[in-house]
Amino acid sequence: MLHYDFMQNAFAAAGMVAVVAGVVGYFLVLRGQAFAGHALSHVGFAGATAGLLIGLAPLWGLVGLSVVAGAGMGFLGERIAGRDVAIGVVLALALAVGLLCLHFYTGYASQATALLFGNVLAVDVPTLWALAGFAVVTLAGMALIARPLLFASLHPDLAEAKGVPVRLVSVLFLGLVGLAVAGCSQVVGVLLVFALMVGPAAAAQRLSADVSTGVGFSAALALAEAWGGIALAYETDWPGSFWITALSAGVYVASIRAPMARRRLAETI
């Protein structure tokens, strides 16, 4: 299957996106902000469709609005905590705005499917280079803020007392989450971002309590799920997004059972 150019592009795109999603997703789950990734994907959908309407590539509209929304959520900080109803209304409105934009765009049917559920097999070379740039920026940004981000995630009050700019770190982190969400949307679509952003990270945190090991596990699991999903899509002719999501769910369920099995083995011994 690697003799085909479109498959090479798919594996390259999914590989870069998966590693970024695994790294960013680990801290997203650690901070209890998994819902933020889902929220940004919905908001990004409105940006992507608006970009289509005005003649821009949907990727740039998706990136622009996702990053701005992520930074805004980071700036608001604790003021958005516990407002699930309000956030849910905003998410529904974002999807509705996206639908309205597609209503005025004549090629909406195929574009809507690709935006909502992804189409990694359709990634072209310019998009591949764009994803590579996003990956470099996101990973570099994560490397710069990793230590204060970890401190602020585990001990926010102590971090603030020690002079860590907690709000700035949150703004930068959620801005990077917006970039990662935009990349994930190219692979699994805005409705299935959880598959790469949350599933591998949640499984990794169950498999290891060490942060550095957990981040490595998260990136490795996301990469294996993305590449495995593409290979299964090629063999079965089923959607790649389905297989990636199914593998993510399966790995997470297995990670839940793994500690139980270890405890039963220890009790037996």
Per-residue model confidence as pLDDT tens digits over 163-199: 899 889 988 998 999 899 888 888 888 778 888 999 9
d(CA 207, CA 215): 11
Residue 211 lies in a domain: yes
Residue 268 lies in a domain: no
Instruction: Say which CATH number the domain at 242 has.
Output: 1.10.3470.10
Structural domain of 171: 5-260
Rounded to the nearest 5 percent, the helix, strand and coil shares of the chain are 85, 0, 15
Measured CA angle at 225 (ends 195, 2), to 5 deg: 130
Q: What is the pTM of this model?
A: 0.85
Residue 269 lies in a domain: no
Domain count, the chain: 1
d(CA 36, CA 177): 9
| CA distances, 146 to each of 173, 187, 190 (Å) | 9, 26, 26
Which residues, in sequence order, are CB contacts of 48 under 8 Å at separation 6+? 58, 59, 61, 62, 65, 98, 115, 185, 190
d(CA 255, CA 129): 34
Residue 173 lies in a domain: yes
Q: Kindly indicate the confidence band of residue 269, based on its pLDDT and cuts at 50, 70 and 90.
A: very low
Q: 115: burial class by Cβ within 10 Å (0-12, 13-18, 19+)?
A: buried
Percentage of the chain exceeding pLDDT 70? 86
Residues 159/117, Cβ–Cβ less than 8 Å? no
Residue 194 lies in a domain: yes
Residues 246/236, Cβ–Cβ less than 8 Å? no
Residue 35 lies in a domain: yes
Residue 142 lies in a domain: yes
**Residue 73 in this model has a pLDDT that exceeds 50:** yes
